[in-house]
């Protein structure tokens, strides 16, 4: 049976919803509850923190890239838990202009689809009763989205809290707790968002302190009681075609961004996933019939990857007879070179002619719809794929044949078409699902 759920959202990014989510997961777990975390939207980093706090794998739910049936199949992972907590992305109503499979990607679309009420995390610094006007606007904008209440964050003093609460009471909005400013409870950040969970040496301390902080300042009983019944019926996961029967998967600090629902889908289809570490100069498993290099932070490990001669030779040998596919950072590592932010050039595997640079940073962000011009592992020519792109690299050279015609969520072409050469393929977007 799928348990009731809540979505932790906010009016905008940077309000503290990740810290609140981690703290709630930790606090409920300490209280003896089994909580299933999810992440709304295409985020590669938050789910690993969710797992550390909850003890359960966190999975992405994306209404632009996933249909209702696929979302229902992923939500079924919550079977047996006591509560669902889904962390939203950006602001509650922020999505793209054109709907995809089941919505625009906004957290509000996920709330409407699942029936999970929303808890708004409000940064009330610099305001008092006026915060109620913001909250009230969120309660009335979409009748199909229920607002369970608000959490007041960055409260300056008891007097400040009293004034904000007075405004909320006048507006008829439930206050589920108030958090004083606490710089000690935060998660470190870098240019693609949060630092990865496995790179956070004090992660256990951060999660424990966040749980204690949240338990001391929020009404956990009221939050649990506010959770709404899940409207989606339990369903079997939508089948995913794996890229091979035995998949060599690059997995270390440089290559870690792969969606959990894809790994789960590959295994459910009978595939075996065999990890290896390029940073440790390891080579793909010789018995594998496909190699997959996920995204990550290869630009932070340019010297180590350039010095990993055994890995690079082994990858080239593998690609002589079997497919190798890379996404974003993995795609860049398959190219000729990466230029780091100091302008230093680091040789990569050379399976493709791609050369990328971080010397002049430029953000590339958004959903991607790709029509394949050629086969890539797990997908035939002509297949339509939905994914998401997020990086700061600039293309200096992309000489190989394009892998796909790629457009953004508005249907506008983008130059990051991916590449193909022999058995090697790569894309800047991270695959989420094949379009229906």
Catalytic residue list: 328
CB atoms within 10 A of CB 273: 18
CA distances from 27 to 3, 32, 47, 207, 225 (A): 18, 9, 17, 9, 15
Strands (E), 14-146: 35-40, 59-61, 83-87, 118-123
CA distances from 203 to 38, 187, 199 (A): 19, 9, 9
H or E segment to which residue 168 belongs: helix 158-171
- 362 contacts: CB under 8 Å, gap ≥ 6: 392, 394
- Nearest of 398, 416, 204 to residue 327 by alpha carbon: 416
For residues 377 and 325, give the distance between their C-alpha atoms in angstroms, rounded to a whole number. Answer: 7
For residues 302 and 342, give the distance between their C-alpha atoms in angstroms, rounded to a whole number. Answer: 11
Q: For residues 410 and 62, is the Cβ–Cβ distance under 8 A?
A: no
Q: For residues 299 and 340, is the Cβ–Cβ distance under 8 A?
A: yes
């Amino acid at each position: 049976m799928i348990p009731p759920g809540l979505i932790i959202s906010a009016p905008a990014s940077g309000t503290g919803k990740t810290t609140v989510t981690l703290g709630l997961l930790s606090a409920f777990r300490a209280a003896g509850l089994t909580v299933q975390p999810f992440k709304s939207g295409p985020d590669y980093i938050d789910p690993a923190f969710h797992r550390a706090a909850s003890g359960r794998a966190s999975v992405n739910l994306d209404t632009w890239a996933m249909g209702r049936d696929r979302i229902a199949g992923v939500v079924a992972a919550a079977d047996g838990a006591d509560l669902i907590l889904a962390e939203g992305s950006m602001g509650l109503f922020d999505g793209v202009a054109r709907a995809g499979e089941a919505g625009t990607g906004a957290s509000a679309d996920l709330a409407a689809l699942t029936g999970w009420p929303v808890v708004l995390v409000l940064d009330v610094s610099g305001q008092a009763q006026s915060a109620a006007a913001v909250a009230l606007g969120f309660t009335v904008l979409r009748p199909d989205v229920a607002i369970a209440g608000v959490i007041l964050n960055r409260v300056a003093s008891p007097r400040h809290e009293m004034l904000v609460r007075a405004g909320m009471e006048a507006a008829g909005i439930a206050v589920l707790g108030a958090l004083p400013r606490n710089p000690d409870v935060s998660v470190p950040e870098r240019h693609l968002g949060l630092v990865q969970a496995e790179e956070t040496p004090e992660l256990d301390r951060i999660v424990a302190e966040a749980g204690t902080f949240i338990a001391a300042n929020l009404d956990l009983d009221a939050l649990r009681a506010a959770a709404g019944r899940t409207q989606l019926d339990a369903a079997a996961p939508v089948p995913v075609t794996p890229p091979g029967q035995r998949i060599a998967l690059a997995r270390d600090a440089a290559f870690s961004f792969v969606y959990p629902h894809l790994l789960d889908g590959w295994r459910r289809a009978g595939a075996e996933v065999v990890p290896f570490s390029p940073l440790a100069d390891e080579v793909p498993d010789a018995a594998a019939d496909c190699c997959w290099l996920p995204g990550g932070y290869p630009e932070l490990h340019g010297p180590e990857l350039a010095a990993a001669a055994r890995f690079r030779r082994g990858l080239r040998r593998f690609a002589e007879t079997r497919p190798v596919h890379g996404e974003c950072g993995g795609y860049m590592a398959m190219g000729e070179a990466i230029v780091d932010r100091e302008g230093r050039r680091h040789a990569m595997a050379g399976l493709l002619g791609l050369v990328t640079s971080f010397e002049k940073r430029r953000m590339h962000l958004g959903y991607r719809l790709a029509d394949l011009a050629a086969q890539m592992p797990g997908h035939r020519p002509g297949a339509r794929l939905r994914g998401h792109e997020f990086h700061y690299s600039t293309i200096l050279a992309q000489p190989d044949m394009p892998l796909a015609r790629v457009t953004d969520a508005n249907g506008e072409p983008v130059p990051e078409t991916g590449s193909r050469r022999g058995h090697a393929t790569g894309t800047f977007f991270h695959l989420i699902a094949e379009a229906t």
